[in-house]
Amino acid sequence: MPRQPADRRMLILRATAIVIFAAAAVTLRVRLYLEQNITRAPYESGYLTRRTFVRRITNAEDHCVALLRMDVRCFRTFVGFFRNTTLLEDTTHCTVEEQVMIFLSVIAHNEKESTSIKETPRAILDNPNFMPYFKDCIGAIDGTHIPAKVSHDTQKRYICRKHFPSQNVLACYDFDLKFTYILCG
């Protein structure tokens, strides 16, 4: 005896309900697994993160010596000198402590900018739209987050704002599309 259309609809409804229930169960199981096995660091804005970093470095003697090659007392005296003589002042985006820390970090670790002074590239000289405005430009700079695979132990510090482990990369290149500088941090 052939099935009636009502029976067929009921079978389709039951099958659909089973599929939806199974998808919900799988989604819940995956979500529970991710919550248990991947710890996420709370998101902080870049401004707070910089402030927190400066505070951590200037409150821990060993970190200060490792990064700045200077103990905390000496660093605070150095910053105080620049503040008192008004040689450096806080800006909207960077405090005197951060400015001195950046300088000392570059000097202490022999980091340098790898760009050299060159003549104006042909791509700018030949284009009247670029020439008056970009005559001193030697290239372009951009940053990106590249997905990273790291061990479970260190995964927390690599989680980016989009909630996956990533490596922050800054790249500079010239008008011949050759990389002149790359910083992975």
Query: Which amino acid is it at 28?
Result: L
The dihedral built from the CA positions of residue 88, 92, 98 and 102, taken in this order, carries a sign that is negative
pLDDT (average), residues 67-96: 87
Burial class (CB in 10 A: 0-12, 13-18, 19+), 98: middle
The string of pLDDT tens digits covering residues 97-113 is 888 888 888 778 766 55
Q: What average pLDDT does this structure show over 66-92? A: 88
Distance CA 46, CA 95 (A): 14
Using 50, 70 and 90 to split pLDDT, how confident is the model at 23?
A: confident
Give me the mean pLDDT over the 146-171 stretch.
86
Cα 115 from Cα 98, distance rounded (Å): 23
Q: Where are the beta strands (DSSP E) in 105-165?
A: 140-147
The residue extents of the domains of the chain are 1-37, 40-112, 115-185
What pLDDT shows up at residue 115? 42
More confident site: 72 or 139: 72
Average pLDDT over residues 87-98: 84
